Structure 1
Amino acid sequence: MHIKLIALDMDGTTLNENHEVSTITKDAIEQAIAKNVEVIISTGRTGVELKPIFDKFTNIRYFICGNGSKIYDREKNINIYQNMLPFKESSSIMQQLIQYDVVPEVYANERIYTDQYYYDHIDDYIDPTLKSLILRSLTPVESIHDFLLQHKKPIEKINIFYKDSKSKNKIHSLCTNMPVTLTSSLDQNIEINSKTASKGNALQHLCQHLQIESTDVMAIGDAFNDISMLKYAGYSVAMGNAIPEVKEIAKFTTLTNIENGVAASIHEHILKN
């Protein structure tokens, strides 16, 4: 096997504890690209949140966004693949979420929308270390439910921040019989996508587009929403800070994101050969 493509998760993987790309990680990625390895980003984020990577890596062309809801080709400035959450499901979920004390976010139009009330009270729901990152990405609206009804189009996903396991269980029960996929990337969030949207399915589509076999793919991640792409890749790498479920299915484990685990894995599997 010869690695031809690297799929990198962002948060908890490529980005360090300050949500930045370290110089060591950047250099390793650049060296891999110089060896004609296709490096792609595979993230739960959407367009408005990708600026740190866009600015750091002008030579990364493909971005799997919204947990596989789309693949963006930066060179052509188009989405070459979409797997969106239908309006019927998103509006039904949003209507029922009104009864719960949670923060719902709608990913649409390359932006993230939430209620003005939750925007003003975000401290009650999220880790303080994430506050500035989340607030600068959000667009507050008077009513997220009304916004969705007016939008009337498929969306990338719904992200929900909750306070406790009781709320989490209620949301899971709510979605049990719906044609949707549930995953997460943080300790207190649930991400709702279309039934067939996942990082793994999007990665498979991109590899078919690029005519690259799964055995020639290395994927690196740390959270639940990375599991599908790790299962697809011939070289699956769990970050040292990954959740146990990721480490259990990955073939390799590298250092943490604080210790530049992505760089260590690239050096181990690509640059030293």
Structure 2
Amino acid sequence: MPPSTSSGAGEVDRRGRRRIVFLDVDGTILEHGSHVAPSTGPAIRAARAAGHLVYLSTGRSAADIHPNVSEIGFDGAVTNSGALVTAGDEVVVERPLPRAATDRMLAALRSRGIRYFLQTRDGAYASDDMAELMRDYAAALTAREAAGQEVRPEDSLVGLAERSFPSVAEADLSRVDKSVFVSDHEEGLEELRADLGEEFLIVPGSMPLPGGSNGEITHRDTTKGSAIELLLAHLGIDAADAIAVGDGWNDLEMFEVCGTAVAMGNAQPELKALADFVTTDVLDDGVANAFRRLGLI
């Protein structure tokens, strides 16, 4: 993600303002693991050429950004749901979970028999049962295809089922930023919230699994929103000039911080209700249409 080549005195939008945009990845730029609307890259590059800043803001780790997204070019990124923030090559924020908090989180996940990934700035690590679930799911998809049955792109678990992950035994537990979990119980989120209390933020996920529940666990104060506040202070930019574009629950705090909030057409209904406006779907030129409406291009 190369830094912007535009100067601070670059062009501005039709309202005479230089803006900074924070784009979620999955469901906003990227659909079903690898698909990006043809209009998205040119729109982002045009906005940057006009003097605006465009940052990624994602729950993914920096090492897990799909090449189809990275190659577009950005001014920096908020990754791991706000645990790591970079501006160009500079690390602005780095705040892994305290080791004691990681130990508490792991104890709760294991006591409930909940499958999980651990995310660090370097990538994702799978518990043994999570790796088994991914292998079984991939095998089931292959069997369905071999039988001539339809396999929808959204059934791919955004590419997770086809991948292999290192074991959590290999993870540096002093550098864990967050966890992504899959529970067999519909009450999985509430069980973890009861176990972990106010120290953690636990939000629903969007894995298309039958039954059960899934979600993300971060430190209560580590969100996309708090990360953006720290970055804006570092850059000397007013939050009123910040724009958030997203589609899911982990975008909520980002919406609350930025002066303008834009929900994708495919966003959660509750998020749409909080947005200043709703653009089109991710593959229906959602980002480009939002940028046009905002006067960025």
User: Structure 2: any 5+ residue segments left out of the alignment?
Assistant: 1-14, 139-153, 208-212
Moved more, 108-117 or 221-230: 108-117
The match for 2:156 is 129
The match for 1:120 is 132
TM-aligned CA deviation for residue 38 of structure 1: 0.2
The answer to whether 1:10 aligns with 2:25 is: yes
Residue number among 59, 76, 85 corresponding to 1:71 in the alignment: 85
Contact 1:71 1:82 in 2 (8 A): yes
Residue number among 187, 200, 204 corresponding to 1:180 in the alignment: 200
Alignment of 1:210-225 (within 5 A): 210-225=235-250
User: Structure 1: any 5+ residue segments left out of the alignment?
Assistant: none
**Cα distance in 1, alignment partners of residues 247 and 18 from structure 2:** 20
The match for 1:33 is 48
The match for 2:182 is 161
The answer to whether 1:269 aligns with 2:284 is: no
Number of equivalent positions: 262
The residue type paired with residue 197 of structure 1 is T
Q: Specify whether residues 51 and 16 from structure 1 end up closer, same or farther in structure 2 by C-alpha distance, changes over 3 A only.
A: closer
Q: Specify whether residues 110 and 53 from structure 1 end up closer, same or farther in structure 2 by C-alpha distance, changes over 3 A only.
A: farther
**Cα distance in 1, alignment partners of residues 159 and 58 from structure 2:** 19
Secondary structure of 2:82's aligned partner: coil
The residue type paired with residue 96 of structure 1 is A
Contact 2:246 2:264 in 1 (8 A): yes
The answer to whether 1:139 aligns with 2:151 is: no
Secondary structure of 1:183's aligned partner: strand
TM-aligned CA deviation for residue 197 of structure 1: 0.5
The residue type paired with residue 200 of structure 2 is V
Secondary structure of 2:201's aligned partner: strand
TM-aligned CA deviation for residue 135 of structure 1: 4.6
TM-aligned CA deviation for residue 266 of structure 1: 0.4
Identity %: 24
TM-aligned CA deviation for residue 160 of structure 1: 0.7
Residue number among 263, 274, 289 corresponding to 1:238 in the alignment: 263
Alignment of 1:102-117 (within 5 A): 102-117=114-129
The residue type paired with residue 261 of structure 2 is S
TM-aligned CA deviation for residue 119 of structure 1: 0.9
Query: Could you state the TM-score of these two structures normalised by the residue count of structure 2?
Result: 0.80
TM-aligned CA deviation for residue 37 of structure 1: 0.6
Secondary structure of 2:217's aligned partner: strand
**Cα distance in 1, alignment partners of residues 52 and 101 from structure 2:** 38
Contact 1:17 1:258 in 2 (8 A): no
Secondary structure of 1:12's aligned partner: coil
**Cα distance in 2, alignment partners of residues 147 and 111 from structure 1:** 11
Deviations 1:83-119 (A, max 9, x none): 2211111111212322334221111251111123421
Q: Specify whether residues 271 and 115 from structure 1 end up closer, same or farther in structure 2 by C-alpha distance, changes over 3 A only.
A: closer
TM-aligned CA deviation for residue 128 of structure 1: 3.4
Contact 2:37 2:283 in 1 (8 A): no
The residue type paired with residue 240 of structure 1 is G
Structure 1 segments of 4 or more deviating over 4 A? 123-127
Moved more, 187-196 or 200-209: 187-196
